[in-house]
Amino acid sequence: MSEAVVLINTEIGAEEEVLDQLLQIKGVREAYIVYGVYDIIAFVSANTPDELREIIVKYVRRIPRIKSTTTMTIVEGVKK
């Protein structure tokens, strides 16, 4: 399993629109509107690193009204 956290900046006022589109993408497990440096945080998972890359590059980053993204690939962790 490959997983990543994607931090997203949107155009002003586009947060809910982008959130709705994110949640329609296969592989986006969770997404939240947040306050701070970023507007949205999304958790993405896929079976392979190549599939994860495809989801982020071909689908997430091409959503209209997204200004920028920062992707952090998860390499190790523990779930409760």
Task: Report the amino acid identity of residue 48.
Answer: T
Residue 6 near residue 52, CB atoms below 8 Å: no
Locate the domains of the chain by residue range: 2-74
Global pTM reads 0.93
- pLDDT tens string, the chain, 80 residues long: the values are 999 999 999 999 999 999 999 999 999 999 999 999 999 999 999 999 999 999 999 999 999 999 999 999 999 988 78
Burial class from Cβ neighbours inside 10 Å (0-12, 13-18, 19+) for residue 72 reads exposed
**CATH T-level fold of 2-74:** Alpha-Beta Plaits (3.30.70)
